[in-house]
Amino acid sequence: MLKIAFEYLTDSYSLLENPIDNYIIMAVVGFAAYLIAYNIVGWFYHTDMIDGRGAGHILHWIIRLIVFVAIYYAVATAIRIYKWIIGVPTHIWLIVAGVVVAVVIIITVTRFFYYRSKLKNENGGI
């Protein structure tokens, strides 16, 4: 019964437009959610926090749904970030990389001269 509810709630989730790629990614997300829920419920059994199959069964499906949704949104966010990065033109990335390199060089040179002058002052101007 809970499997049917889980499939009903998660069936409409879609990450990609390509159905085959989407099916593969959703299968991996579902399997990861299963493994995490299985391990958590197993830990609950081993620590005697729950007793009986009914409690473990319900807890497994609740944890599985929560973990599935969390992993789904993490993967969806990663895909959006990837698409955004790919969508930015190359010349913009070259400018950003140049600015980052320039800032690192400026910071390094500034720190070098700062510590050099500090060391010079500590040694009595030598």
Q: Are the beta carbons of 18 and 82 closer than 8 angstroms?
A: no
Identify which of 58-62, 86-90, 104-108 has the greatest average pLDDT: 104-108
- Min mean pLDDT across 1-15, 59-73, 83-97 is at 1-15
Predicted confidence (pLDDT) per residue in 16-29, tens digit: 888 898 889 989 99
pLDDT tens by residue, 47-68: 988 887 888 888 999 999 999 9
Query: Alpha carbon of 61 to those of 34, 74, 102, 111: distances in Å?
Result: 9, 20, 52, 55
Q: Which pTM does this prediction carry?
A: 0.67
Provide mean pLDDT across the span 66-78: 92
Helix and strand tally (H, E) in the chain?
4, 0
